[in-house]
Structure 1
Amino acid sequence: MLPAGDLKEFVGDFIRNALAAAELGRWEVLGQTVREWKATAAVYADSALLKELTKPVTDDHGPVPPHADIGE
């Protein structure tokens, strides 16, 4: 179950994307919204996973490599 604030955000996203999907005739947009929010709800349902994903990141994984253009 989503917390109240996230539930409100989901409803807003769903409505915006349903309107956009209807206008474009591309319903996969709405399907993607539902899949993403289901994943968010699954994280909230698993307290250990929620704790792991919301703790501060303290590790330094080194410098970010420079961007390489595709095809080089």
Structure 2
Amino acid sequence: MKTPGDIDEDAARDPAESAGSPISHACGAFEEHAASRAPALSSEQLLQGRSCVEIRHNGATYCLRATRLGKLILTK
């Protein structure tokens, strides 16, 4: 019997786990390769106080910026 303070383990699970997906992070890294992944960078580390940081990928330049509401936007 659950009391109001109990944690619902099914509700607390990662959605990727409950869907049976091997993907554990947005970057698409599989759980078995977690030890070989590069450490995550914070948005503060990437932006370093700037409003936009340019990222070059496959010959295209993108702008990564943080909104006033704390969301990240990547535009081409």
Aligning the two structures, in what range does the TM-score lie when normalised by the shorter sequence?
under 0.3
Structure-2-length-normalised TM-score: 0.25
Structure number with higher strand proportion:
2
Structure-1-length-normalised TM-score: 0.26
